[in-house]
Structure 1
């Protein structure tokens, strides 16, 4: 199976603190891949390295065979990497629709004057991008709140819009940092269904950080486990559940179903 992302011996250091310490794993194209571990294990730092917010101290990250270290975040987005943040990164005063439209601005090819210079070019592109946004609204079942200011929505719906902003970029690889945090069970079940649909219907590769181990074990094809910046496990859910080091550091003696 093709590897869409390869992380090779990645370390990340802040002064004397190692956030990541020689981490290596690969992600297969089209799978759901989870990063798990205790708080402070380095999971979000890992996503920051993949998306370009942090530059590793050592190592290499390859996307579709191309080394992306040193590449600006927007260029990684153009390659097909999108990110939904743990802390919601939306414009609270703007509507759901406008937040999703804004998520696509980086894909715009027509300049601000193109509508006047090339008749209809910018307008045609606007129609194309609006169609893509409408598909996200339908996919995440946001039709009834499309014109609602995001800041007035319940937290669970705001998290869904945050995921939608990343989906609006039509990525090949989507990074989801705790998309179910703060949700009730019904909201978690719905988000899990959306993640499965990203994988099965949209054929996206999904990287998931999530603390609910039941969700992780049910959704994931492969899992990497971090603890204090070190990788202590990598494999299928079944392999992770029976990894003694992972059980000791994170899962605990009770087996996760």
Structure 2
């Protein structure tokens, strides 16, 4: 079953075409990696899927419904969550508070009830707190739960960024370079968490990552972009053996 279908997506900024007629499908329950050289259009594609950008042409369907013109918050309500390449946390808030913000699409009580913190609002927050506690345990960040995010090491901030997306209990989790800037040990931990998210939580994962060893080890399917065009897709083995992919990464002269 296809969870997400991207059909003939093009995205232009004036005379610059960031994406050019890109199509692929993502099956429910897989880890799907989107790779390519810097400037290939990978983050632009995630922005189109999450709703930050509206494509110039083409369409995107989620669970069979067209979401091309849908606002980002409505896509979040459908179960599409995003962790950003550049950390987008609130540095003055604690880890716990940042994770609680990931539950905003599931909160039903109004501003008045929430402000007085009584009845249904109180019960609802208790339930959301339980969900966040499960994320904290899952990502092994119990000891930093009450520390302001701005005081954390970079690798822990990246983990909290992923945790906030996980707090939404996503059907589709978009991870934009979750291992960028990490050392070898931190990368190993993050790779383990991604596998556990996939296997234990049942989320479908879209991963952008430059470490090809990680991509080939984790992915069920891989799509390759170069200058906004899709130049290859398939299993990790098929992509590794694709001449166009080799050329894009190594350069035409070395390939010949």
**TM-score, normalised on structure 2?**
0.96
Asked whether 1:37 is paired with 2:36, we answer yes
TM alignment of 1:1-257, pairs within 5 A = 2-114=1-113, 120-250=119-249
Counterpart-to-counterpart distance in 2, 1:184 and 1:240:
26
Counterpart-to-counterpart distance in 2, 1:207 and 1:115:
34
Counterpart-to-counterpart distance in 1, 2:211 and 2:117:
52
Counterpart-to-counterpart distance in 1, 2:101 and 2:234:
37
Counterpart-to-counterpart distance in 1, 2:221 and 2:105:
31
Counterpart-to-counterpart distance in 2, 1:229 and 1:151:
35
Q: Which shifted more, 104-113 or 227-236?
A: 104-113
Task: Identify unmatched segments of 5+ residues in structure 2.
Answer: none
CA gap 1:72/1:250 in 2 versus in 1, 3 angstroms: same
Counterpart-to-counterpart distance in 2, 1:248 and 1:195:
29
1:180-201 Cα distance to aligned partner (Å, 9 max, x none) = 0000000000000000001100
1:144-182 Cα distance to aligned partner (Å, 9 max, x none) = 000111011110000000000100101000000000000
1:59-109 Cα distance to aligned partner (Å, 9 max, x none) = 010000111011000000000000000000001111100110112123210
CA gap 1:115/1:153 in 2 versus in 1, 3 angstroms: closer
Task: Identify unmatched segments of 5+ residues in structure 1.
Answer: none
Counterpart-to-counterpart distance in 2, 1:55 and 1:17:
15
Number of matched pairs: 253
**TM-score, normalised on structure 1?**
0.95
Question: Over aligned residue pairs, what C-alpha RMSD do you find?
Answer: 1.7
